[in-house]
Structure formats: C-alpha cells, structure tokens
C-alpha cells in the first residue's frame, strides 16, 4: 500500500468518510452487492513478546526477575474495491509497549480511500485521502506487523519506538506514481497534511510536565524508490518536514514550535538465500520561539545501520546487525550535554549489536528470538526510565516473540 503524511482528522470523521464511500460504491453497483463484496478481504494479527534486560527497562519492568510481557500488538484490517479504480482499506490496532498500558486502547491505525486515475502496463497515477502510514525508509509502513519485520525490534536508530507517533501515520492527501521501466520500477510518493503528535513526543521533548497542548501543523513527506531486476537491488530516498505547535496553559511558559526534518537514504541487495540492507539518516530537529532560551534547541542527529539476513531450511532465517545512533553530531560523545547538567552523556548515543533468529512454523505462526548488546541509552523509552541518571551505559536485552496472523 502506498501511503504518506496527511491532514489531521479525528477517527470519527475518517470512519464516516470510509463508510460513505463504501455505501456509495455498493449502491452504484448495477450487478448487486455480491460483486463488490467478492473483493472484501479481512486479515488480522497478534504478537506477544517477553523482554528481559540485565539493566535499564524496555517496554515495562524488563530488568525485574521475570522480565516484561508488556509488549503486545493486536490488529485487524479490511479492504474492499467498490469500483475497479477505487480501494477502501482500514486497520484498527491495539498496541501495548510498556508504560501503564494506556496506549493499548484500540485506535484507527490507518484508513484510506485510494483512487487511481491512470493505470496501464507502463505507469500508475493515484491519490489517497484519509489516515495513512508514512513512507519513511524501508519498514515504516508495515512496522506493526511482525511477519513483515526482519527482527522483533526494527533498528531503533531510525525506527524510534519511543517517538513512533510522529513517524507512523498522518491524516490528509497524498499523490503517488509508479513507472515501469525495462529493468525496474520507479515509485514516487508525496503527501501534505498534518502528522500525529502523541504523548510520546511530548515526553521526549520534556514538555509533558508543562500544562498545554502539542498540536500538529501542516507538514510534507515524500519518498522516491527504485527496484531493479525484480527487487534484487532496492534503493530509496525519504524526506520530511514535520511541524507542531505547543500552546502553553501557563503564563510563565510561552508558546513555541517543534520541527523535524529528516533525510533517510536506503539501499538493499537481495540474493536467493541472503539480503544485505543499510540505511543512513540525518535528523534535524528542535524547538524554537520559546521565551526561555534553555528550552529552544536545534540539533542534527545521525543514524545508520548495516544488516545481514540469511535464510536457511526454507522456514528459518538468522540476522546480524550493527545499529548506531548519535543524537547530536556536534556532541557525539554526549560530554557537552552532561556538562550542561541535562543528563548523562550515554543518553545521547547508542551502539547496538543484534543477533536474531526467526522460525516460520507455517504461514500463520512465527517464533522469534533476539539478543541485543547496547552501549548507550539514546533510544531507551523515557516512560520506562524516567530518571536517566539511574540508567546504565552498557546493557543487554533478550526478546522472545510469538506471532500469529490470518
């Protein structure tokens, strides 16, 4: 599914739009409901993980004796074609990832109406409206479905779980194209609208204790992707300009703006039995226009990873990955950050060595396990580690996951 970052509507409005288009499409079918309903597809998935760490907490009290079971993903989706050029698709997701579990309330994950105004052997042009997954790197659009991930956790340097709401979805309008070339396929996507700005973003920006609201503003996101020789080589460039406004309810604390301008460069080579994937990102972000200069900041972070997957015995695969995160390219070691009294130096970076194993018992059941050795705490969830000074620089993590789908 081709998606992008878009106008912010609430769940009720988007659901009403989808229902209205669906009813109109069914009603206009001269052959009756049976033809349209033949295109209906229903799918679902469930994943449950156990997280164990020797120090620090990840997705719940993972450093306790029994580990944490507070990493659960449950989703159901449906799609329908009321017309050969129109697709309606939506997914509801319940996701618990540590904290108090309040984020496990079912939410509209995506909901789109897709209209293709041109589709032939050479090219496709289309437009989508609704709530959609953003085209960000290789994995963002399907990151909540365990069967589409190469590992239990995606590389945290680029696919942040602690600020996932900003990158995950948005509401609005997107244009997409696909050009089929003699030796490959070129795809382009461009969206305009407003991103999601959840509590995880407020917490990361240290605005969660200040009365007020963080509301998204008009934003842009785009991706250009090329697949050569049936997907043997895949390359992509993703970029975004995401913005939000903080309106303070405290006279002593002024209003201000948040901005996030990432660039992600992605490259993958796929052979019969193995794949090599690398992504590199520059992330410019900050706060501005606040009266207190200590609140404002403008930093550029750097992220990259290199990942090798090997498939064997038809239904097994293993993975090794090195993942690097630097929060500020001008302060790679975090020493200046620590000297300012803002927190420990190791909270500004993370280098993660990951070993993973997956076994597909059948097309509907998957078991996975992985080990992480991490130097730094740059991507630790703040909700699970509110006191950064109590965290350990070097730590280890084990994850086990059972995933089902239908």
What's the CATH number where 26 sits? Answer: 2.40.160.10
pLDDT at 136 over 60: yes
| Range name among 181-185, 198-202, 363-367 with the lowest pLDDT average | 198-202
Mean pLDDT of the residues in the chain: 88
Q: Is residue 91 part of a domain?
A: yes
Among the listed residues 130, 136, 110, the one whose alpha carbon sits nearest the alpha carbon of residue 220: 136
Q: What is the pLDDT of residues 242-297, one digit of tens each?
A: 888 888 877 778 888 889 999 999 999 999 999 999 999 999 998 888 887 878 88
Enumerate the β-bridge partners of residue 247.
213
Measure CA of the first residue to CA of the last residue in the chain; give whole Å: 18
| Range name among 157-161, 215-219, 268-272 with the lowest pLDDT average | 215-219
DSSP state of 296: -
243-253 burial, b for 16+ CB within 10 Å, e for fewer?
Answer: bbbbebeeeeb
Domain, as residue range, for 394: 11-405
C-alpha–C-alpha distance, residues 109 and 91, integer Å: 5
Q: Is residue 17 part of a domain?
A: yes
At 53, is the pLDDT very low, low, confident or very high (cuts 50, 70, 90)? very high
pLDDT for 382: 84
C-alpha–C-alpha distance, residues 112 and 205, integer Å: 30
Among the listed residues 290, 380, 377, 381, the one whose alpha carbon sits nearest the alpha carbon of residue 337: 377
Q: Is residue 2 part of a domain?
A: no
Three-class secondary structure assignment of 32-56:
CHHHHHCCCEEEEEEEEEEEEECCC
Among the listed residues 260, 163, 199, 239, the one whose alpha carbon sits nearest the alpha carbon of residue 4: 239
C-alpha–C-alpha distance, residues 303 and 326, integer Å: 6
188 within 8 A of 224, measured Cβ to Cβ: yes
Q: Is residue 1 part of a domain?
A: no
Q: Is residue 4 part of a domain?
A: no
175 within 8 A of 190, measured Cβ to Cβ: yes
* Residues sharing a CB contact under 8 Å with residue 331, sequence separation 6 or more, in sequence order: 337, 348
pTM (2 d.p.): 0.87
Q: Is residue 6 part of a domain?
A: no
- What the block records as the tokens of 11 is 């769940």
Give the residue-averaged pLDDT of 44-59.
Answer: 96
How do beta strands 394-405 and 365-376 pair?
antiparallel
C-alpha–C-alpha distance, residues 299 and 221, integer Å: 20
Among the listed residues 406, 375, 402, 405, the one whose alpha carbon sits nearest the alpha carbon of residue 55: 375
% residues pLDDT > 90 (the chain): 61
C-alpha–C-alpha distance, residues 241 and 261, integer Å: 5
Q: How many domains does the chain have?
A: 1
Q: Is residue 202 part of a domain?
A: yes
Q: Is residue 297 part of a domain?
A: yes
């Amino acid at each position: 599914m081709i998606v992008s970052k878009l106008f912010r509507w609430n769940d009720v409005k988007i659901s009403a739009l989808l229902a209205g288009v669906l009813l109109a499409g069914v009603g206009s079918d001269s052959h009756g409901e049976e033809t349209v309903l033949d295109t209906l597809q229903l799918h679902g998935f469930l994943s449950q993980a156990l997280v164990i760490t020797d120090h620090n907490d990840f997705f719940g009290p993972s450093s306790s004796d029994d580990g944490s079971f507070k990493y659960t993903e449950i989703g159901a989706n449906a799609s329908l074609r009321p017309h050969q050029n129109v697709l309606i698709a939506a997914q509801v997701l319940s996701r618990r990832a540590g904290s108090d579990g309040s984020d496990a309330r079912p939410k509209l994950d995506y909901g789109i109406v897709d209209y293709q105004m041109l589709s032939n052997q050479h090219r496709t042009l289309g437009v989508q409206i609704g709530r959609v997954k953003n085209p960000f790197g290789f994995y963002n659009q399907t990151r909540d479905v365990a069967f589409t991930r190469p590992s239990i956790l995606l590389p945290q340097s680029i696919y942040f779980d602690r600020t996932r709401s900003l990158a995950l979805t948005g509401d609005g309008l997107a244009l997409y194209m696909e050009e089929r070339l003699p030796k490959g396929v070129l795809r382009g996507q461009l969206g305009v609208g407003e991103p999601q700005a959840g509590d995880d973003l407020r917490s990361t920006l240290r605005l969660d204790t200040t009365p007020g609201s963080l509301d998204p503003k008009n934003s842009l996101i785009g991706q250009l992707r090329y697949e050569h020789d049936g997907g043997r080589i895949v390359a992509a460039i993703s970029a975004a300009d995401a913005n939000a406004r903080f309106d303070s309810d405290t006279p002593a604390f002024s209003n201000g703006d948040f901005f996030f301008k990432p660039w992600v460069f992605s490259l993958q080579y796929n052979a019969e039995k193995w794949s090599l994937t690398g992504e590199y990102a520059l992330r410019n972000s900050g706060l501005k226009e606040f009266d207190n200069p200590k609140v404002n900041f403008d930093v550029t972070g750097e992220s990259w990873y290199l990942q090798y997957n090997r498939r064997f015995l038809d239904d097994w695969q293993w993975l090794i990955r090195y993942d690097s995160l630097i929060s500020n390219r001008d302060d790679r070691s975090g020493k200046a950050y620590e000297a300012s009294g803002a927190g420990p130096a190791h909270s500004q970076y993370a280098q993660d060595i990951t070993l993973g194993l997956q076994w597909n018992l059948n097309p509907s059941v998957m078991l996975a396990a992985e080990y992480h050795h991490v130097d730094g705490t740059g991507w630790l969830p703040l909700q699970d580690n509110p006191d950064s000074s109590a965290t350990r620089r070097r730590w280890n993590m084990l994850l086990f996951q059972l995933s089902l789908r239908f």
